[in-house]
Amino acid sequence: MGANYTPRIGWFHSWADLDPALVDEDMAQIAQLGLDHVRIFPLWPLLQPNRTLISSRAVQDVLTVVDIAGRHGLAVSVDLLQGHLSSYDFLPAWVSTWHRRNLFTDPLVLAAQQQLARVLGTELADRPHVSGMTLGNEIGQFAVSYHPDRHDTSDEQATAWTRDLLAVVDEVLPGRRNHHSFDDCLWFKDDHPFTPADAVLLGASTTVHSWVFTGAGQALGEGHPGLALFGRYLTEVASAWNRALGQADRKVWLQEIGAPVPWVAPQDAAEFADASVRTALGNPDVEAVTWWCSHDVHRDLADFPEVEYSLGLFDAEGRLKPIGEAYGAIARELRDGASAGAGADASPAASTAAPVVLEGMDRAGSDRSRLSPKGDIFRTWAEAALDGEVSPLEIRF
């Protein structure tokens, strides 16, 4: 169990003027909470301000943060291309406006991305506490049909982009768990060029990002107890696709999960975190949970969606919040249970309820919206789960 690291001072803009002492304070808090890993997000425009220029100072800053986390006993997953963070897009000038090139298909862009992966991955390979790299934070959202500045991409091109960039990362960072990540459009949007097969067949494990504001909240309503089950539902969707595509032993990383207002009231956030994480851990395929995020965005920073100011385990002053206490308690239970050689009380038994079977699904994902949180299957599944019957999902082509 870990956290997606959001710097307390300056948010991700702090990469432009890194203060190692502040990073050390943040990482100490995360480690003291009982967490064992962080995911970090360097900004692509700083790492690679020109297509043929990789900033040695920016790379060194990444290594500094990685080393600080390691000194506090934290494993580190490094995201490569940022990409997209908390409603903001961070793209270098050489893929924008007058220099616009497609992120997923332009040969010059692909070569530059792969070169950045080689440079950064080679440096990270010397650090055993680096668990791996992820290609980018939900970077596939640039290809979704409703994006305001879409980078048009076919299914085949999306697969090729993911496969080829991961191959470079695996080459320079061997023996680690390298991934790619995406929002839940990949699982539920019929026309998304990134498909469930990309999630299941590429990368070390299948990643999911659980946000109740993408449909579950609208379907069930603010404060509904079923919202705490959405993270588990997403892991079941991922597990179902794993099995359907011949990867029954593949693990699932709940790479992002948070408690967003107004769907989760601030006074209910700790209870939501406790229920959602414990329920998700009931899926035996889940190998890791990484909360979004470590620290609240400070109110001095303007123009964020309201939700972004309150997602942290710690507030913007570094004070532990009740949600952090709840999350840390589960992490310590898991750690203490593992140390004792016994099953951790934090993880409930896997469900033995009859599976929910979806017949005639398209292997290519053209009807994946059947599983959407806005649909009947999720609502029926959630109602049964609230009665204690947490069913696995079964996809049949």
| pLDDT tens column, 6-58 | 999 999 999 999 999 999 999 999 999 999 999 999 999 999 999 999 999 99
Range of the domain at 26: 2-350
Residue 395 lies in a domain: no
> Residue 160, class by beta-carbon neighbours within 10 Å (0-12 exposed, 13-18 middle, 19+ buried)?
middle
Task: Tell me which residue of 231, 338, 215 sits closest to 275, measured CA to CA.
Answer: 231
Q: What is the pLDDT of residue 113?
A: 98
Which of the residue ranges 180-184, 311-315, 334-338 has the most confident prediction, judged by mean pLDDT? Answer: 311-315
Q: What is the CATH number for 6?
A: 3.20.20.80
DSSP annotation of 284: T
Per-residue b/e over 244-265, b at no fewer than 16 CB within 10 Å?
bbeeeebbbbbbbbbbbbebbe
Residue 257 lies in a domain: yes
Residue 366 lies in a domain: no
Predicted confidence (pLDDT) per residue in 223-282, tens digit: 999 999 999 999 999 999 999 999 999 999 999 999 999 999 999 999 999 999 999 999
Residue 330 lies in a domain: yes
Q: Which residue has the higher pLDDT, 351 or 78?
A: 78
Residue 228 lies in a domain: yes
Residue 369 lies in a domain: no
Evaluate if residue 295 carries a pLDDT over 80. yes
Percent pLDDT > 70 in the chain is: 96
Task: Tell me which residue of 29, 65, 31, 32 sits closest to 47, measured CA to CA.
Answer: 65
Percent pLDDT > 90 in the chain is: 94
Predicted confidence (pLDDT) per residue in 322-357, tens digit: 999 999 999 999 999 876 654 445 545 566 689 999
Residue 363 lies in a domain: no
Q: What is the pLDDT of residue 344?
A: 45
Query: For the chain, what is the radius of gyration of the CA atoms?
Result: 20
The β-bridge relationship of strands 393-395 and 356-358 is parallel
Q: What is the pLDDT of residue 338?
A: 73
Residue 365 lies in a domain: no
Tokens of 343: 């099953």
As for how many domains the chain has, the answer is: 1
Q: How far is CA 201 from CA 94, 195, 365, in A?
A: 31, 10, 14
